[in-house]
Structure 1
Amino acid sequence: MGVNFDLNDLQAFRAVVELGSFRKAAEAVNISQPALSRRIEKLEGALGVRLFERTTRSVTLTTVGRVFAPSAEQLLDDLDVALLGIRDVSSSRLGHVTIACVPSVAYYFLPNVVASYHRRFPRIRVKLLDSSANEVLSSVISGEADFGVSFLGSQEAEVEFKVLLQERFVAACRRDHPIARKKRVTWNELYEHDYVSVDKTSGNRLLLDQALSTVAPHAPSVCETRHVTTMLGLIEAGLGVAAVPSMAMPGRDHPVLTSVPLVDPVVKRRVGIVMRRGRPLAPAAQQFYRAIIEMKRGGGATGENGDADFGPQATKTASRKSAS
């Protein structure tokens, strides 16, 4: 027995799932709201189940809808690959790509990639899931994200980890802080000052705990936060100092914040692209992957001790070089 629904019905379903609104979904697929409702009703009728619970205020997936959503997404992605092929993705195509990334990457590096990608493919919508390293890994494994950018994943059998760069941890502080006058600072010296730390749910905390097993802070941190970007806001407000990945720091022209290399020991982390093993990228995601690689090749500057500097200052410098 045939199934009486088509590609347009699946696309309407995906739009409602992603946007959580029949009105927004109708706008996204360029049809009227009644027409979109008819497509959803047709799909539900063909499957013999209700996919959404609808009230005047909200739209949520039913239990069956939550089970069906990943299959529909995979079907549309596979069809996209079959019909378009990698070379056929162009600015005239509709599509979407979902990238999971740790906040430090999302805030200072990926905006440059997204801007470049949008100029080339203005009709492809980009969704960024800025989450902890563990959540990035989960999003990739579950298929919620096409791929991720993180510093965890190299030990996981289910994923492939392609290293983009290696960066060191630095001491973040205000320009008027005593540490700012130093050329380098030890971890013990850092901990002599009030400091802010990341909590135990952070992948950075795990990495630091392992690397600093012989370094004991003199006192607990004055504040714990889950994300490095929040930590920098606290430092800018004068709460103390913090150890952060160099990529998380704003440009060298920032009026308040600066950084000093941390030594004894030098702690580094590898940042890379996390992909689910054995699952090919859809065309739109493949193009975004290429945009990241191109940005890495063209925007990465080598800092002290050969560490990659992938922050905003590096990308600004690369832009000036490419324009000259």
Structure 2
Amino acid sequence: MSSLRLFLQVARTCSFSETARVSNLSQPALSRTIKLLEQDLGVRLFDRNSRNVNLTDAGRALLPIVERLTADFDSAFRELDQTFSGERGRVVVGALPSVAADLLPRAIARFLEMRSRVEVIVRENLTGSLLQNLQDRTIDLSITTPPIGNDAIFFEPLFEDEYVLVCRPDDLQRISDPAPWQAFRQLPFIAMEQRSSVRMLTDATFSAAGIETPARFECTQLATVGGLIGEGLGISLLPRSTLGLVSVGKKIAWRAMEAPTASRTIGVCTLADRTLPPAGQAFRALLIRMAMDDAAFNANC
């Protein structure tokens, strides 16, 4: 490609000396390069004497082809450079529904402001499925709770997601602040389904607090939990990050829990033995930076 570029430069300037100067080559070196190119092609490309340099018919036929080749080459390498720098590419992000409704949209919006040529694809799922998707390499990274006993997955914490009592605004009058754990013995409990990470920690938290409260309803969707609470059918214990989904179309209130409080850790999971594509690395770094900014903001409030 370098010899073709030199041919192109000589053809445009009609000068070996000028081409040698701008290319930082000696004129004999330039002449040898053009001669080798002519030998490879089996044709003479330039007619020249002490005063003039002109393209031969073969040179004129080659010129538009070389212009097209160099333009395509430059365009391809510009795109490749953008991919290597994370300006182009694709990021497939898996996330818990609660995270996908808050932190993730904010991160995607900020990311695309800086890297508009990157395609971001979102896959929502429960923790077990997200970790399996990660190992199947159908997603690049996942935002979820820590994997247990899986050294193949690297986990970077983002934030602590505090569990709170969720109820109707009217219920706040009979629930002290912070909310006592005994409230779950006094009012019907609305739970998430048993295989969800939210439910697993809820059950563990109740067990540690010595609370036995059978679920009046078990729901697959957080919006369903909110709907049941809004109709006065019970209360729930949920991570704060889920409140936006729970309160869709309903007036929902919440109280922090008395000590000992409970929380779940939300973080970024990636495969330990996989190097993320540059765009994926940039997105992960942005998530971590935004989580740190959120934590600093909340600490100062």
Asked whether the two chains share a fold, i.e. TM above 0.5, the reply is yes
Sequence identity of aligned pairs in percent?
22
Name the SS for the 2:276 alignment partner: coil
Matching residue's letter, 2:280: A
**Residue 286 of structure 1 aligns with which residue?**
281
Alignment partner of 1:223 is 2:255: no
**Residue 62 of structure 2 aligns with which residue?**
none
**1:177-203, Cα deviation, whole Å (9 max, x unpaired):** 246763111222133112210121112
Alignment partner of 1:191 is 2:188: no
Deviates further, 272-281 or 174-183: 174-183
Distance 1:114 1:180, change over 3 A: farther
Distance 2:169 2:231 in 1: 12
Gaps of 5+ in 2: 1-76
Aligned-residue CA RMSD (Å): 3.0
* TM superposition shift of 1:165: 1.4
* TM superposition shift of 1:83: 4.2
**1:237-272, Cα deviation, whole Å (9 max, x unpaired):** 443211011122239x99822210123531121111
**Residue 119 of structure 1 aligns with which residue?**
113
* TM superposition shift of 1:117: 1.2
8 Å contact kept, 2:172–2:253: no
* TM superposition shift of 1:153: 1.1
Distance 1:167 1:302 in 2: 15
Name the SS for the 1:170 alignment partner: strand
Gaps of 5+ in 1: 1-79, 307-313, 318-324
Distance 1:276 1:179, change over 3 A: farther
**Residue 258 of structure 1 aligns with which residue?**
253
8 Å contact kept, 1:154–1:160: no
* TM superposition shift of 1:214: 4.6
8 Å contact kept, 2:154–2:271: yes
Distance 1:301 1:242, change over 3 A: farther
Alignment partner of 1:208 is 2:205: no
Equivalent residue runs for 1:9-24 within 5 Å: none
Distance 2:295 2:156 in 1: 16
- Of the candidates 124, 127, 144, which is equivalent to residue 130 of structure 1? 124
Name the SS for the 2:201 alignment partner: helix
**Residue 232 of structure 1 aligns with which residue?**
226
Alignment partner of 1:297 is 2:292: yes
**Residue 262 of structure 2 aligns with which residue?**
267
Equivalent residue runs for 1:92-171 within 5 Å: 93=88, 95-171=89-165
**1:7-64, Cα deviation, whole Å (9 max, x unpaired):** xxxxxxxxxxxxxxxxxxxxxxxxxxxxxxxxxxxxxxxxxxxxxxxxxxxxxxxxxx
Distance 2:226 2:200 in 1: 19
Matching residue's letter, 2:269: V
Distance 1:231 1:84 in 2: 48
**1:74-116, Cα deviation, whole Å (9 max, x unpaired):** xxxxxx9x944776222xx3x2211111111111221111111
Matching residue's letter, 1:175: P
* TM superposition shift of 1:234: 3.2
Distance 2:213 2:142 in 1: 35
Distance 2:213 2:288 in 1: 42
Superposition misfits of 4+ residues, deviation over 6 angstroms: none
8 Å contact kept, 2:93–2:142: yes
Matching residue's letter, 1:202: S
Distance 2:173 2:152 in 1: 43
Equivalent residue runs for 1:31-42 within 5 Å: none
Distance 2:222 2:149 in 1: 23
TM-score norm. by structure 2 comes to 0.65
Alignment partner of 1:89 is 2:83: no
**Residue 7 of structure 1 aligns with which residue?**
none
8 Å contact kept, 1:136–1:148: yes
* TM superposition shift of 1:154: 4.9
Indicate the structure (1 or 2) with the bigger Cα radius of gyration.
Answer: 2
Alignment partner of 1:174 is 2:138: no
Name the SS for the 2:261 alignment partner: coil
**1:262-308, Cα deviation, whole Å (9 max, x unpaired):** 235311211111111110111121121122122112223576xx7xx
Distance 1:180 1:147 in 2: 43
8 Å contact kept, 1:97–1:126: yes
**Residue 67 of structure 2 aligns with which residue?**
none
Name the SS for the 1:270 alignment partner: strand
Distance 1:272 1:208, change over 3 A: same
Distance 2:85 2:166 in 1: 45
Distance 1:294 1:180 in 2: 40
